[in-house]
Homo-oligomer: A and B are copies of this chain.
Amino acid sequence: MIGIAVVGYGYWGPNLVRNLADIASTKLVAVCDLQVDRLLQVQARYPGVRITDNFDDILADPAVDAVAIATPVASHYRLAMGALMAGKHVFVEKPMAASVEEAQRLVDEAARRGLVIAVDHTFMHTGAVRRMRQIVEESLGEVYYYDSVRVNLGLIQRDVNVLWDLAVHDLSIMDHVLRERPVAVSATGMSHIAGRPETIAYLTLMFPSRLIAHIHVNWLAPVKVRRTLIGGSSKMIVYDDLEPSEKIKVYDKGVVLSEAETGSELYQALVGYRTGDMWAPKIDVSEALATELREFADCIERGATPVSDGECGLRIVRILESATQSLSQRGRMIDLEDARKVA
């Protein structure tokens, strides 16, 4: 059983605490937060758990094998690095860190010490996203595009733009579902609250192949939309996370090319359409966060690598950083240095 301390008991921390208390392979050892009233809530619900407002207490506690960090992104690097240097495994909220440099250092430090670092990209562990990964691999053929709309009237943040808050989800889903890595990114957007970062942004990703991806995020939309289209040469997917039951629909639709002889041009390609059945596979509905935390504990015990490991977190931070740079340069396409075909 892995002893785990949770740092940060604000919006997401309680979900970590509840799951860690329930999972058989983890033991919730301690909770750290700067606000006393939150700590008292923890004490009332989990009388056996240590509470503290001093992160050093966590680092010094030999019962703590791993630290789960659910604080604002600006503090991720300092807390995660502190935990690693104290020999603790790390589970950190998304986005992994505030810059590529920070994320890279965390990856390097964990590797040097042989510690597990996992980034909490929860969507990657949902039944829907895992099923899509399988469908894309088995049935989609050549993947033509990945297109996501994620908009709502959302909590406008002070320090990070809408890409770091919303597009981070799409980037993690893409990272899991697609077999290619993007090579360049362009983003346009606008801020509508004086002195705040962008409230709306549009992000295009280019890949080594003809695959193109686009993510559309907006904190000022009157309706909530969570819809992704993935188009392939053989099948196409519509993934709507707001659908209560049929989240994934797989369409047997596409374009058919045929050769034809015509008057002026020999062998001209004709384009036709193919329309077949639609199919909505049953989706595993178990809680993604529980799956993820079980996997984290299991990786620590077996010395394995989690699905959303530090490298994954770093890849996503790299895109977010480049996209933010592109935003400030009127959408200039930025090359992502390390882009490469998945082995």
Contact = CB atoms under 8 A, between A and B. Distances in A.
B257 A244 contact: no
Given A156-B255, A222-B236, A238-B223, A210 B191 contact: yes
Given A204-B331, A331-B331, A279 B282 contact: no
A222 B238 contact: yes
B282 A277 contact: yes
A333 interface: yes
A145 B279 CA distance: 24
Contacts of A125: none
Interface string A188-229: 111111111001101010100011101010101111100001
Interface in A225-265: 229, 231, 236-238, 242, 244-246, 249, 251-255, 257
A214 B220 CA distance: 14
Interface stretch (A115-123, A146-154, A313-321): A146-154
Interface residues of A, number: 66
A55 interface: no
Given A220-B231, A231-B222, A188 B186 contact: yes
A323 interface: no
A286 interface: no
Interface string A273-310: 10111111110000000000000000000000000000
A186 B214 CA distance: 14
Interface string A161-203: 0000000000000000000000010101111111110011010
Contact of A236 (B156, B202, B221, B330): B221
Contacts of A200: 144-145, 147, 212
A112 interface: no
Contact of A257 (B144, B145, B193, B206): B193
Contacts of A251: 222-223
A72 to B, nearest CB: 15
A130 interface: no
Contacts of A281: 277
Contact of A156 (B222, B271, B277, B280): B271
A133 interface: no
A85 interface: no
Given A220-B145, A331-B186, A279 B279 contact: yes
Given A222-B231, A277-B279, 16 more contacts: A144-B200, A145-B220, A147-B216, A149-B149, A153-B253, A186-B188, A190-B211, A192-B210, A195-B269, A196-B269, A202-B214, A220-B231, A222-B229, A222-B236, A280-B280, A331-B333
* A-B residue pairs, 7 tightest by C-beta: A222-B251, A222-B236, A278-B280, A190-B212, A330-B333, A188-B204, A186-B331
